[in-house]
Amino acid sequence: MLRRTRTKLLRLFIAISFCLVSLQTGDAAEAHHAMVASEGAEASQIGLDVIEHGGNAVDAAVAVALALGVTNSASCGIGGGGFMLIYWAKDHKLYALDYRETAPKAASADMYFRNGKPVEELARTGALAVAVPGELAGLDAALRRFGTMPFSSLVAPAVKLAREGFVLSPHMARDIAFSASQIVKDPGFRAQFFDAAGAPLKAGARVRAPGLAALMDGLGDQPVERFYHGATAAQIAAFIKASGGILTTDDLANYRPVWREPIHLRYRGYDLYTMPPPSSGGIVLEMFGMIAPGHTEGLGLNSPAYLAQLIEIMRQGFVDRDRYGDPAFVKVPVAELLSPAHLSEARQQALHHLTVPNIASARDHGTSNFCIVDKAGNVVDVTTTINTIFGAKIMVPEAGLILNDEMDDFAVAPGVPNAFKLVQSQTNAIAPGKRPLSSMSPLIALRGRAPAMVVGASGGPTIITGVLQVGLNILDFGLSPEAAVSAPRIHEQSQPPTVFTEAAMPATTIGALRQMGYPIKVVPELGAVSAIRITPGMLDGAFDPSKGGGAVGN
Ligand code: DON
C-alpha cells in the first residue's frame, strides 16, 4: 500500500515537472494529431498504429478493445461487454453504443436464492454468474456504422499477442496472485497463468493464449455470425450447461447491442455528454449539476472544504442511483433528476454520517477504460468489463474464453450488497433479457461544438466519482490530465456510510475530514481513470498510474 502511494505521489510530481518541461520546450508538434490512452502499453500502440495506417478512432477502438482482452484479460475481453461513446467530427454529434451483457432468458429475480436465502457468491463465481456477452456484437456494430477497416485486420494484432505471447504486466500479475486460489482450479487458467509447479506467473513472464488466438482468428470478418451462432456458440452453451449455468445458444443468438441517445448537461460553459441508462452516466452529470455555479471557486483542489462538498454530492448522487436500471424494463426519470429543481433540492439534502462500519470495499480492476482521439478530431471513449477480476473465474476450455460475472451487477436480493457493496433497488432486479445497471460512465466534454476533454474509468462505483473528480480537476482546476488522474481521490456511495480516501491524500486533510465528523476509511487506491484534454492543435492524455498502461500520441 505504501509503495503504491509513493508511486502515485512520485507520478504526480513527475507529471507536474513534465508539464513544465513540455511547456518550456514546446514539445513535438507531431504529438498533437492523434492519441490513445489505455491501461495496456501494447494496446495503446496498436490503436495508434491503426490510425497511422489510415484508420479512424472507431477502427482503433475495436483493435484496442480486442488487444486489451488479451493482455488485460483479468479486466475485459470478448466474454464481457461495455459502452462506447463517440464524438463524430463530421456532424459534431455524439453517439452512444450499449453492448452491455443481458440476463439469460431463464434468469429470474430469485435465481440466487437457496433454501429461502440469497447466496451472493453464485452471482460472482461460476457458470450461473454469466450474463450474455455483448463485446463482439458491440465492436461489430460500431465498426459497421463508423469504421473503415475490416474486422479481420483489427483483430489481427490481438491474435498475434495471444499466439506469440505478451509480457505480463505488474497489474495483471497482482490480479493473478490475488485470484490464484480460485482460478488455479480451472485447467485453462492454470495452463495460461501458472508455472509447472502451480505458482502464479510473475510480472515480466511471457504469457500465451493459444485457444483465444484460434477463436479470434476464426472470426474473420463475421465476428457476430461466428461467435453468437454455430460451433462457437454451441461450445460456450454446452460448457455453461455442464457447469450448472443457464445461458443457451438462443441467448447468444438473440443478443443485440443498442444505439442510444447520449444524455447531456451544461456545466460552466461546457456541454457534458455521457451514456444514458443502464449506465450511471446520468449520476455523474447529476453530481456535476449539484455543484452550484462558482461552487469550487476559491476552495482549492482537495482542500477539506472542497472534499466535504464532494462527499455530500457523491452521497446524494448514489441515493438517486437507486432509480436507475435498464430503460427497457423501468422508467428512469433522467430528465427529472437532471432538472434545475431537482439539482437544487438534491444539493440541500446532504447529511453527515456517524459511524464507520467495519467493511472492506471490493478490490477494483475487473474493467478497462480507454480514450482515443484521431487525426480528424473524432473521439471515442470506451469502458468495457467482465465485472470482477477474471469475471466468473471460469474459462471455456480450448476456446480460452474468460466469462463475465455481470449478473452480480443486478440487485441479487433486496438489501443484499453486491461485490462493490452497492445495495440496489427493485429497479435493478433480475429479469430475463434485462441489462444490469452499470457504473461505467464514459464522458466527453464539448466547448462550443468541439471536444475539450474525454474521460472514463474502471473501478465499480468509484468509476462515477473518479470521472467526476478527474473531470473537475481538468475543467475547473486546469490540471493536465496526468496531474488530474494522479491527484488523490475520495469516494462515497451512500451505503456503506463511509468515505473512502486514497492513501496518497495528505494526512492533514484526512484529519480535517475526520474532525468534521466524516467516517473515513483509507484505501490504497480508488479505481483507474484515463483522460485526454483536447485544445486546438494539442492533445494531452494520461492513464492512471495505479494500473500501468499509458497514453501514446503522434
Ligand atoms: O458495470 C459495472 O458497474 C461493473 N461491472 C464494473 C466493474 C468494475 O469496474 C470492476 N473494477 N474495476
Q: What percentage of the chain exceeds 70 in pLDDT?
A: 91
Ligand 1 interacting residues, C-beta cut-off 6 A: 364-367, 385, 387, 406, 409, 438-440, 458-460, 463
Give the model's confidence band at 358: pLDDT under 50 very low, under 70 low, under 90 confident, else very high.
Answer: very low
* Alpha carbons 314 and 211: distance in angstroms, whole number: 43
Instruction: Report pLDDT for 364.
Output: 53
Instruction: Report pLDDT for 31.
Output: 54
Annotated domain spans of the chain: 260-365+439-553
User: pLDDT, tens digit, for every residue of 463-487?
Assistant: 999 999 999 999 999 999 999 999 9
3 vs 172, higher pLDDT: 172
Cα 82 to middle of ligand 1, angstroms:
10
Give the model's confidence band at 14: pLDDT under 50 very low, under 70 low, under 90 confident, else very high.
Answer: very low
Cα 405 to middle of ligand 1, angstroms:
10
* Strand stretches in 359-475, DSSP E: 367-373, 379-385, 395-396, 401-402, 443-447, 450-458
Cα 148 to middle of ligand 1, angstroms:
30
- HSE of 277, CA atoms in CB hemisphere, 13 A: 24
Burial 469-498 (b: 16+ CB within 10 A, else e): bbbbbbbbeebbbbbbbbbbbbbbbbbbbb
**Residue 7 reports pLDDT greater than 70:** no
Locate 162 and state its grid cell: 495471444
Cα 402 to middle of ligand 1, angstroms:
16
Instruction: Report pLDDT for 430.
Output: 96
DSSP bridge partners of 200: 194
User: pLDDT, tens digit, for every residue of 259-315?
Assistant: 999 999 999 999 999 999 999 999 999 999 998 666 777 889 999 999 998 999 999
- HSE of 528, CA atoms in CB hemisphere, 13 A: 28
**Residue 22 reports pLDDT greater than 80:** no
Residue nearest to atom 1 of ligand 1 (CA): 438
Distances (CA, A) of 198 to 174, 193, 207: 16, 9, 15
Determine the atom of ligand 1 nearest the C-alpha atom of 408.
Answer: 5
* Alpha carbons 201 and 465: distance in angstroms, whole number: 33
* Alpha carbons 472 and 257: distance in angstroms, whole number: 31
**Residue 8 reports pLDDT greater than 60:** no
**Residue 390 reports pLDDT greater than 80:** yes
Encode 467-510 in three state secondary structure: HHHHHHHHHCCCCCHHHHHHCCCEECCCCCCCEEEECCCCHHHH
Structure pTM?
0.93
244 DSSP 8-state letter:
T
User: pLDDT, tens digit, for every residue of 315-346?
Assistant: 989 999 999 999 999 999 999 999 999 998 88
Residue 385 burial (10 A CB sphere; 0-12, 13-18, 19+): buried
Instruction: Report pLDDT for 179.
Output: 96
Q: How far is CA 387 from the centre of its chain?
A: 9
Instruction: Report pLDDT for 545.
Output: 79
Determine the atom of ligand 1 nearest the C-alpha atom of 387.
Answer: 5
* Alpha carbons 130 and 79: distance in angstroms, whole number: 9
**Residue 433 reports pLDDT greater than 50:** yes
Helix (H) or strand (E) holding 253: helix 249-254
**Residue 198 reports pLDDT greater than 90:** yes
Instruction: Report pLDDT for 548.
Output: 79
Instruction: Report pLDDT for 97.
Output: 99
Instruction: Report pLDDT for 23.
Output: 27
* Alpha carbons 483 and 463: distance in angstroms, whole number: 18
Instruction: Report pLDDT for 15.
Output: 40
Instruction: Report pLDDT for 18.
Output: 35
Give the model's confidence band at 3: pLDDT under 50 very low, under 70 low, under 90 confident, else very high.
Answer: very low
Q: Point out the residues that are catalytic.
A: 367
Cα 471 to middle of ligand 1, angstroms:
19
Instruction: Report pLDDT for 419.
Output: 87
Q: What percentage of the chain exceeds 90 in pLDDT?
A: 81
Determine the atom of ligand 1 nearest the C-alpha atom of 409.
Answer: 5
- N residues, the chain: 554
Cα 32 to middle of ligand 1, angstroms:
31
**Residue 350 reports pLDDT greater than 80:** no
Instruction: Report pLDDT for 5.
Output: 46
Give the model's confidence band at 248: pLDDT under 50 very low, under 70 low, under 90 confident, else very high.
Answer: very high
CB atoms within 10 A of CB 4: 15
**Residue 2 reports pLDDT greater than 80:** no
**Residue 27 reports pLDDT greater than 50:** no
CA–CA–CA angle 168, 84, 389 (5° rounding): 35
User: pLDDT, tens digit, for every residue of 87-139?
Assistant: 999 999 999 999 999 999 999 999 999 999 999 999 999 999 999 999 999 99
Mean confidence (pLDDT) of the chain: 90
Please give the average per-residue pLDDT across 428-443, as a whole number.
97
**Residue 32 reports pLDDT greater than 90:** no
Single-letter amino acid code for the residue at 337: L
In this predicted structure, which of 156-160, 292-296, 391-395, 511-515 has the lowest mean pLDDT? Answer: 292-296
Residue nearest to atom 5 of ligand 1 (CA): 387
Instruction: Report pLDDT for 292.
Output: 65
Give the model's confidence band at 48: pLDDT under 50 very low, under 70 low, under 90 confident, else very high.
Answer: very high
For 260-365+439-553, the fitting CATH number among 3.60.20.40, 3.40.640.10, 3.30.465.10, 2.40.110.10 is: 3.60.20.40
User: pLDDT, tens digit, for every residue of 199-222?
Assistant: 999 999 999 999 999 999 999 999
Residue nearest to atom 10 of ligand 1 (CA): 366
Cα 368 to middle of ligand 1, angstroms:
9
Please give the average per-residue pLDDT across 245-266, as a whole number.
98
Encode 175-194 in three state secondary structure: HHHHHHHHHCCCHHHHHHHE
Give the model's confidence band at 416: pLDDT under 50 very low, under 70 low, under 90 confident, else very high.
Answer: confident
